[in-house]
C-alpha cells in the first residue's frame, strides 16, 4: 500500500474521532440533565399559573350570602291571597246566581292580627283586601274582623271559622256578600245577599197600576 493511501486513512480516522467526541460532548449535558431530573418532579412554574387562571373564581362567603337573600317589601306571612278572579265559576241554583271557587283550608289556620287577606269578587276588577285588626272566640269559633283597604270607611269583613265551615261576610257600599267555605275540602260558595232578599220577599219589589175609583153617588134625600 502506498504512503498516500496510508496518510488518507489516518487523517480520516482522526477527523472521525474528533467529530464523534465533539458530538458526544454536545449531547452529554442534555442526557445528564434528563438523567438528573427525578421522576414525578413538579411541573414548570408556568403550569400552575395557567391552571390558576383557568380555575373559577369563588366569591367570598359574605357576597354569596347577600346574593342568596332576595329583597322583599314585606314578609310573605303578612299577606294572603285566598283565591284569584280566574278561579270563579258562575252557576244558577233555584233562581239565585252563585259563584264557586276553591282555597287551601290550611290558609285559614294561619290567620293573625295585622294580616292582609286578599280575595277576588265577581263584578270587581281588582281583588278586595281586608286588614285583620280584631279577633275573639265565640262558642268555640274564631271570629276575625277587619276593614277593607282602598275602600269606604264603612266597608268591612267578618270571618268566622268554625269546626266544619268558615263564614265570611263582606259589607260593601253595593251590598253584602256571603261566603261559605268547607274547612275539609276548601270548596267556597259566594252568594250576593241582595238576591237572597229578593227571593225571600219578592212582593216588596212589585209595581202595581193604581187606578182612581169613581166618586160615590150623593146620599139619598128624604
Do residues 195 and 178 make contact, with C-beta atoms less than 8 angstroms apart? no
Q: Reply yes or no on whether the pLDDT at 115 is more than 90.
A: yes
Q: Residue 78: what pLDDT?
A: 87
Proportion of the chain above pLDDT 70, given as a percent: 56
DSSP structure class, residue 151: S
Around 1, how many Cα atoms within 13 Å sit in the side-chain half-sphere?
6
Greater confidence (36 vs 86) lies with 86
In 3D space, the residue among 80, 96, 114 whose CA is nearest the CA of residue 202 turns out to be: 96
Range from 10-19, 66-75, 93-102 carrying the lowest mean pLDDT: 66-75
Torsion over CA: 115, 192, 123, 107 (sign) = positive
Q: Residue 158: what pLDDT?
A: 96
pLDDT digits (tens, 9 = 90+) for 3-50: 555 655 555 656 555 555 545 555 554 444 444 444 555 554 554 444
Q: Residue 62: what pLDDT?
A: 47
Q: What is the DSSP string of 164-221?
A: SEEEEEEEETTEEEEEEEETTT-EEEEEEHHHHHHHH-GGGG------PPPPPPPPPP
Q: Residue 90: what pLDDT?
A: 95
* 209 pLDDT tier (thresholds 50, 70, 90): low
Q: Residue 95: what pLDDT?
A: 82
* 51 pLDDT tier (thresholds 50, 70, 90): very low
Amino acid at each position: 500500500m502506498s504512503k498516500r493511501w496510508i496518510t488518507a486513512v489516518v487523517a480520516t480516522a482522526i477527523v472521525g474521532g474528533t467529530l464523534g467526541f465533539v458530538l458526544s460532548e454536545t449531547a452529554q449535558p442534555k442526557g445528564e440533565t434528563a438523567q438528573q431530573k427525578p421522576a414525578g418532579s413538579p411541573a414548570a412554574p408556568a403550569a400552575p399559573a395557567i391552571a390558576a387562571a383557568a380555575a373559577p373564581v369563588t366569591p367570598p362567603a359574605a357576597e354569596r350570602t347577600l346574593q342568596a337573600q332576595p329583597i322583599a317589601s314585606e314578609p310573605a306571612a303578612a299577606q294572603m291571597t285566598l283565591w284569584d278572579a280566574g278561579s270563579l265559576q258562575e252557576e244558577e241554583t233555584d233562581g239565585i246566581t252563585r259563584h264557586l271557587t276553591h282555597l287551601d283550608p290550611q290558609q285559614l289556620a294561619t290567620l293573625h292580627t295585622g294580616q292582609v287577606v286578599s280575595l277576588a269578587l265577581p263584578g270587581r276588577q281588582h281583588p278586595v283586601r281586608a286588614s285583620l285588626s280584631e279577633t275573639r272566640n265565640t262558642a268555640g269559633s274564631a271570629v276575625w274582623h277587619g276593614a277593607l283597604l282602598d275602600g269606604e270607611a264603612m266597608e268591612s269583613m267578618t270571618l268566622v271559622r268554625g269546626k266544619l265551615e268558615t263564614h265570611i261576610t263582606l259589607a260593601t257600599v253595593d251590598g253584602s256578600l256571603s261566603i261559605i267555605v268547607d274547612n275539609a275540602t276548601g270548596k267556597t260558595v259566594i252568594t250576593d245577599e241582595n238576591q237572597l232578599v229578593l227571593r225571600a220577599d219578592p212582593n216588596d219589589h212589585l209595581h202595581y197600576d193604581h187606578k182612581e175609583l169613581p166618586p160615590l153617588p150623593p146620599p139619598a134625600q128624604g
